[in-house]
Chains A and B, each alone.
Chain A
C-alpha cells in the first residue's frame, strides 16, 4: 500500500496546518486527536488538511469534533480544508458536514 497513515503539523501562512494522510481508524486516531489538540494549544488558527485521507471512521471523526469544540470553547479558529470525497461522505452520513467550517483550501482560509 502506498498510502501510509500519518499526520504532521506545519506552519503555513500563519496557520498551524495539520496534514493527515491514509486511513484514519481506531488503530491511530488517538495520535490524530493529540496532534490536533497540540496544534490548538498554540494561539494560532488551526486547519486540518484532509485531502489525502482515503478513509475515516467515527473515532477519527470524534478527534475532529473534539478539536472543533475545543477551539470554539476558546474562540480559536478551526477549519477543515480540502476534504476528500470519502471523508465528506462520512461527515454527511453523521450529519456533520454543515457543522464543521469546511474550506476548499488553505488559501481560501487565509483570505
Chain B
C-alpha cells in the first residue's frame, strides 16, 4: 500500500534529491503519511476553489508536521514568488520573494527540498516577518512538467526540535498533490478563459454578420462571405442611393486575427458612410483612404472596391484600391479590370481612377484573394484562370445559384483565407436606350454630337483610343448626312440615338432626306490617295458592323454597331 502514492509521485516528476536513495525514502514513509496524502489528494480533487483548498492544506500541513507556521508560494509571471496561503501566527499572504532569493527562492531555483536547521547559519535567509522568529525552515518545490511552479514551506517545529530528513521527505510528498491541484486549477482556468474567448469570437462573428447586408431578392447583387476562422477580415455591402443607383463595396483587410476583424468593422462602416451621397467612386475611395491613413495602425491596410450599378442602363462604375481584378463575363468572353490604386490606409492623397463597364446581359464578379488563393487538386493556387474556369462552369444558372455553386466548389478545395464573392448581374437581354441627340443638319452641331458620343462610350468602358475612333466614326456619319443626304446646310433634321444591345453599343442615325442607295455607299480603296470619300472608310474600319435599314416613314436609318470592351 505504501508504495502506490510513491509510484504516482515519481510519475509526476517530483524532484528527488539525488543524495536520498529511493529505498531509504520508502522505509521512512509509513501508513500515517499515506493517510494524509490520501486526504490531501481527495481534498484537492474535490475542489474548484483552489485558494480555499490551499488555505486548508497549509493548516493541515502545519498541524501534521507539528510546525508553527506553513505557507505556499507560487511563481509569478516576473519570476518572483508570492505567498498564496499561510497558516501560523503571522499572515504572510501576498508576501513577495524575488527570484532566487531566500529559502523559497532556492528551493524553486534548485528544484530541491531545502532543509535549514539553523537560519542564522544560512546566508540566504532573508529575515523574519513581523516578530515571528524563524529558527528552522523546510521548503519543498512544487514541481510540474514545465519546472517548479512554487514551493511549500514550514517553519519551526513546535516542540523546539529541528526539521529532519524524514520531515523533508514528507513535505516533498505533500508537494506532489499540491502541485497537481495547482496545475489542474490553472488548466481549468485556461479552459474557462478559452471558452470565454470562444464565446466572444462567436459574438464578434455574429456582430460582423449583422454588418453584412441582408439578402435582397429585388437587387441584381448576390454576395457571400466565408470566414477562414470564426471572424472575418473580408466584408461587402450594397445599398440603394437616392438617385436609384445601387452602391456596392467589397473589401479585404490585411491579416486574419482579431485586429483584422476590428479593422474590418471600421473599414466597412467607413465605406458605407462615404458612399451614401453618391460621390464618384474615386472620390469615395479617396475619402476612406484619408480616414484610414489617419487612424489605422501602421502596417495594416484594406483592399477594396467601391462603385455603383445603374440598373436602367446596366452600367457599372467603380474604383479599386489594391483589390484583385474584377471579371466581367459576357457571352464567352472575359474582361479583367485591374485595381486603379494602392490599398487603403497606406498612402494619403493617392488618386483612384474609376473604371466603367456595361453589364449588357453579362455579369461582373468581384472576389477577395481568398478565391484565387484556394488550392486546386494540384496543390497550386487556382489563380485568375481557375476563377474564370469556375465562372464558365456555373454560367447559365440564376445569380444566386451561380454564387452558391462557386462557393460550394471552393469549400471542397482547401480554403486558407477569408473568401468573399460578389456578383452583379444583368440578365435582361432587352436592348436598352442609353440616350440620344437630335437637331438640324448644321455642321456647327457636330461638336455636340461628338460630345454626346464621347460621354456614352466612356461610360461603357471604352478606352481613350477607342473613344477617339468611335467619336470620329459617328461624326463622319453625321457629316455625310449633312453633306450628301441633305446636300449641305442646314434645315434638315438629324437624330442620333444610342442603344445597348447584346454586348454592343448601337448607334442609330436617322435623317429625313430622300432615300440614298445603300449600294452606292461603299468604302473605297485607301491606297488611292485623294481627298474626300474617307468618311465611310473610317466607319467601316472602326465599327464591327454598319448598314442602312429601312426606317418607318421617310428618310434613311444608318445602324452602326461596336462590341463592348
Contact = CB atoms under 8 A, between A and B. Distances in A.
A94 B534 contact: yes
A58 B538 contact: yes
Contacts of A94: 526, 534, 537-538
A91 B169 CA distance: 105
23 contacts: A23-B447, A25-B443, A25-B446, A26-B482, A27-B442, A27-B446, A28-B443, A55-B450, A55-B471, A55-B472, A58-B476, A58-B479, A58-B532, A58-B535, A58-B537, A59-B479, A61-B534, A62-B534, A69-B529, A69-B531, A89-B465, A89-B469, A93-B542
Contacts of B527: 95
Nearest to A55: B450
Contacts of A23: 447, 450
Interface string B422-451: 000000000000000000001110110010
B531 A57 contact: no
Interface string A45-63: 0000000000101110111
Contact of A58 (B465, B468, B534): B534
Contact of B483 (A26, A66, A86): A26
B444 A27 contact: yes
A91 B527 CA distance: 13
A27 B542 CA distance: 23
Contacts of B531: 61-63, 65-66, 69
Interface of B: 442-444, 446-447, 450, 465, 468-469, 471-472, 475-476, 479, 482-483, 526-527, 529-532, 534-535, 537-538, 541-542
Interface of A: 23, 25-28, 55, 57-59, 61-63, 65-66, 69, 86, 89-90, 93-96, 99
Contact of B475 (A57, A63, A65): A57
Of all A-B residue pairs in the complex, the 7 with the closest CB atoms, nearest first, are A62-B531, A27-B443, A58-B534, A26-B443, A65-B531, A66-B531, A26-B479
A86 B464 CA distance: 10
A90 B472 contact: yes
B292 to A, nearest CB: 37
A6 to B, nearest CB: 15
B530 A57 contact: no
Contacts of B483: 26
Main secondary structure of the interface of B (DSSP, over half): helix
A57 B469 contact: no
Nearest to A94: B534
Nearest to A100: B529
Given A62-B531, A86-B468, 16 more contacts: A23-B450, A25-B447, A25-B450, A26-B479, A27-B446, A28-B443, A57-B446, A57-B472, A57-B479, A58-B479, A58-B532, A58-B534, A58-B537, A69-B530, A69-B531, A90-B538
A93 B529 contact: no
Contacts of A62: 531-532, 534
Given A27-B446, A94-B537, A89 B475 contact: no
Nearest to A22: B447
B117 to A, nearest CB: 101
B250 to A, nearest CB: 36
A66 B447 CA distance: 24
A105 to B, nearest CB: 24
B530 A89 contact: no
A57 B537 contact: no
Nearest to A66: B531
Contacts of A58: 476, 479, 532, 534-535, 537-538
A55 B471 CA distance: 10
Contacts of A25: 443, 446-447, 450, 475, 479
A96 B475 CA distance: 19
B490 to A, nearest CB: 10
A101 to B, nearest CB: 13
Contacts of B538: 58, 90, 93-94
Contact of B526 (A26, A57, A86, A95): A95
Contacts of B471: 55
Contacts of A99: 529
Contacts of B450: 23, 25, 55
Contacts of B479: 25-26, 57-59
Contacts of B482: 26
Contacts of A89: 465, 468-469
Contacts of B542: 93
A23 B454 CA distance: 14
B113 to A, nearest CB: 92
